[in-house]
Chains A and B, each alone.
Chain A
Amino acid sequence: MIASFIMAFVVGGLICVIGQLLMDVGKLTPAHTLSILVVTGAILSGFGLYEPLIDFAGAGATIPITSFGNSLAHGALAEAEKHGWIGVLTGMFEVTSSGISAAIVFGFIGALLFRSKGNID
């Protein structure tokens, strides 16, 4: 159990370090950085490498945004295996729906509850 926490800390931290390096050394905007990480997650998923990383690092791999790309590709791949061409589109949000729906629902609730004082973004 302690080992899982340490693995999550180290792997999650390292993925954030890659992001920080892209921003500081690569001089990329946060939006570019996050987009690159998401695309990387999708590509790793295509090679079947992201699921082993989740087994290895747990939340260290599921919490960074790379896992969003992985779940999108994972859903698309799983449905493509079952239904062929059309599955690529229908399976896309199969696995990752919870992240998007949580963001929309809590975004809306947040807008109901809170008021911007210039300290939000």
Chain B
Amino acid sequence: MNPKDYEQLQTQLSPKTPILKNVLKAFLVGGIICTIGQAITFFYMANFDFTERTAGNPTVSTMIFIAMLLTGFGLYKKLGQFGGAGSAVPVTGFGNAVISAAIEHKTEGFVLGVGGNIFKLAGSVIVFGVVSAFLVALIKLILVTIGVTDW
């Protein structure tokens, strides 16, 4: 069997991804998580000295705290199975990746296990975020220096 036939056979036999259903679930779960985030944002704006823009930071921290509880009790995994990207894309999914790696590797000890593996899953997000932010800032700095644009 040549590779082309094999590929065709594989697409025929593998179960179809229910894309529409997955997209709707992702929209629903992601939307609900962001709505909860909005409620927390309002809480910080009402009770502390935060504006809509600056309230993002404490909101993110609170959401990650909630993600810790859900992850620890094994509920975030269930949410992930239902919501797909709807649970992975919000910052709670980032928190879940970090926290689950930490709990998972606890048996290997706190230094080598928890410390060494805590960014095992979330590391790529941090690396690509930092490198792209570096390039974006560098390019903008060059453009401003040669006078193409301003800050």
A: residues with CB less than 8 A from B are 1, 4-5, 8-17, 19-25, 30-31, 33-35, 37-39, 41-43, 45-46, 51, 54-55, 58-60, 62-69, 71-73, 75-77, 80-81, 84-85, 88-89, 91-92, 95-96, 98-104, 106-111, 113-117, 119-121
> Which residues of B have CB within 8 Å of A121?
77, 100-101, 104, 121
> Which residues of B have CB within 8 Å of A20?
22-23, 25-27, 84-86
14 of the cross-chain contacts (CB-CB < 8 Å) are A11-B34, A19-B85, A34-B94, A42-B132, A51-B53, A59-B41, A63-B91, A65-B91, A65-B125, A71-B56, A75-B133, A77-B140, A80-B141, A110-B68
What residue of chain B has the Cβ atom nearest to residue A117's Cβ? B74
Whether, in the assembled complex, B103 has its beta carbon less than 8 Å from a beta carbon of chain A, the answer is: yes
Contact of A103 with B99 at beta-carbon distance under 8 Å, contacts A12-B30, A39-B129 already known:
yes
The contact of A59 among B37, B101, B118, B133, by CB within 8 Å, is B37
B103 close to A46 (CB less than 8 A): no
B60 close to A99 (CB less than 8 A): yes
B91 close to A16 (CB less than 8 A): no
Shortest beta-carbon distance from B47 to chain A in Å: 15
Contact of A102 with B141 at beta-carbon distance under 8 Å, contacts A111-B110, A121-B77 already known:
no
B32-49 vs A: 1/0 string, CB under 8 Å?
Answer: 111111111110000000
Question: B56-101: which residues lie under 8 A (CB-CB) from chain A?
Answer: 56-61, 63-65, 67-68, 71-74, 77, 83-86, 88-95, 98-101
A31 close to B133 (CB less than 8 A): no
